[in-house]
Structures are given as structure tokens and as C-alpha cells.
A and B are shown apart, each in its own frame.
Chain A
Amino acid sequence: MRIRHNYTALDKIDLQMTPMIDIVFQLNIFFLVTFKIVLPEGDFNIRMPSTASARQVQQSETLPMTVVMKATPSGELADLRLAGRSFGNARDAFARLHQQIRSQVNDAGGPGTAADLEVEIDADYDLNYDNVIRAITAITGYIENGQKHKLIDRVKFTPPKKGEVGE
């Protein structure tokens, strides 16, 4: 019988890497498959009690300004109006609406002091929702030099015009 020397036994110690690498690759593939790019999302907060209970709540002193949005049959914007003034349907309609709102808020004493102003959005049923978000963007504020400025916080919708709820 041969006697083993210690140093040969040390030489033989060999870590089995294969199972570990297998598991590591499996993990890697799992993460690769479940990976999805999450786009940052944000909210416009709107407090809009139903009209029945809103009547009991104190009414704002000024009447709400109404933003009217007319739609073409395909859902595109046909006309944008604020308090009777038309901004048309050109690409800069929302920018002009924004300027109008901004000057009105400034007349009322600068950003932040227009807390009692309220805007009601009266949009056609078929209008693409994208336009509504752009109108809300134009109404609620702006970002200048990385600073967020608020214009009018209180936005509400008119009730839907056509089609019955629950049909």
C-alpha cells in the first residue's frame, strides 16, 4: 500500500465550479427575462366631488373659467377656447392658452395667489385624451429654470356629454 503524502492531498482539492456556474447562469437568465424598462410616471391631482355634494361645499367666489375643446370626428382637436376666446387648433394652441392663463394669474397678483381661480374643462366626447392632459399641463403650471411654478390648481371636468353610463 502506498502512503499518501500530505502535499499530494492538498493538490487534489479542487472546487467544483460547474454547479455554481450553472445556477449563476440560471439566475442571470431569470433576471434578463423579467427585466423591463419602467418609464417614470407622474400624476395630476384633481379633487372633484360629485356635483350633488359640491353644491353643499362652499362655492368659489369667482365663476370657473371654462376651457372648451371641440373635436373632429377622428378625435383630433378642432378648436380650443377659453372664456369665449378661440385659440384655434394649431400646434401652438396650448402654448397660447398657457400664456393667456399665465397673464390672467399674474393680473390676479402673481403665481400662488390665484387659489380661488378654477378651470372647468368642457371637452367633446370623442376628443383624444392626450389633448386634455396637454390642456391641464397648460393650465396647472410651468417649469422655468428647473423650478416648478403653479398656476391654477383647481381643475374639474364637465359631465360626459353623450352616451349613458353603464351601457
Chain B
Amino acid sequence: MRYTKHKMAMAEMDMTPMIDVTFQLIAFFMFVLNFSEVDQDQRINLPASELAQPPEVAYDEPLTIQLTSDEKIYFSGDELTAAQLKSALLREAQLIKSSPKKKVADVTVIIRADKNAKTGKVQEIIQLCQEAEFDTFALRGRTSDVSTLNE
């Protein structure tokens, strides 16, 4: 009996290096975990541009409108038609007007449109925003390291 116990104790492997590596992995994933980028819709393939740099100062509560290549409009997580988007924007504008500190014109509307979307659709979205008195827009693009002019 005593003999067998001794033998089993010898079979234990050293877990320390494995646990070390596993903790390193966890630390890595915790660093790269990004909670703030909830607005990035993976269905949208943004046009690339070398001048599209991340804003130096983060926008104060921006609105994000997304347009896919098959002309679906997403706003605050829902798929909307143009008419629904208009009423949603008017509602947002009402909310902003009701708060004394903010002005509708100062709120940035981020437009994330797919590179194969129709320009006319983007223009229509901008027009809807203008009807709701928004006039500051940010056209979003994917940051590119190389010049996109000669492609």
C-alpha cells in the first residue's frame, strides 16, 4: 500500500509553467479586450483612406448611422427604413433641445457607410439629418497606411 502511494506521487506533473503561460494569455486578452467599440458593425466594409485619422478629441455623445452595401440602415442597433430613421432623428433632436446645455448643431453624426453603398443613399441620410437640424457630420473610413489615390 505504501509503495503504490509513493509511485502515484511521482507521476504528478509540474503544472507551474502551464499555469504561468495561461495567466499570461489571460493578461493579454484582458488588455486587448475593447468595450468601447460597440459601434463597429462587422458587416460594413469601410472605404480606406490615409487621411482618415481617429479624432483627437472624442465626440460628445455622437449618433452613429450605419449603411450596409445592400442599403440597410442601422441606427442605435435597429434596422430602420428611411422614414423610421427620420422620426428617430427628430426624436433625438427633440431630446437634445430639451437639455439646456446642448445644441443640436454641435452633436456629431457619424456615418459609417460601406464602400460599395450608393452615394445617393448616403446623401439621403445626410439630408434626413439636416431636416432634423443636425449639421456636423463625420464620414468614417478605415485608416490606411498607404496612399489610396493611385489604387
Give chain A's interface residues, CB within 8 Å of chain B: 17, 20-21, 24-25, 27-28, 31-32, 34-36, 38-51, 53, 69, 71, 75, 91-92, 94-95, 98, 123-134, 136-138, 140-143, 148, 157-163, 165-167
Contacts and interface: CB of A to CB of B under 8 A. Distances in A.
B118 A50 contact: no
A160 B120 contact: yes
Contact of B135 (A41, A49, A131): A49
Contacts of B49: 42, 44, 133-134, 136-137
B118 A127 contact: yes
A41 B143 contact: yes
Contact of A129 (B51, B52, B117, B127): B117
B115 A42 contact: no
Contacts of B8: none
B33 A38 contact: no
Interface string B126-148: 11101101011111111100011
Interface residues of B, number: 61
Given A28-B25, A46-B137, A157-B126, A40 B142 contact: yes
B124 A160 contact: yes
Most B CB atoms within 10 A — which of A34, A41, A142? A41
The 7 closest A-B pairs by CB, nearest first: A125-B120, A31-B29, A42-B52, A50-B130, A130-B115, A43-B138, A160-B123
A167 B118 contact: no
B51 A148 contact: yes
Contacts of B118: 75, 125-129
17 contacts: A35-B33, A44-B51, A44-B141, A45-B137, A46-B137, A47-B136, A91-B151, A123-B119, A125-B118, A127-B120, A133-B48, A133-B52, A137-B51, A143-B50, A163-B120, A166-B128, A167-B82
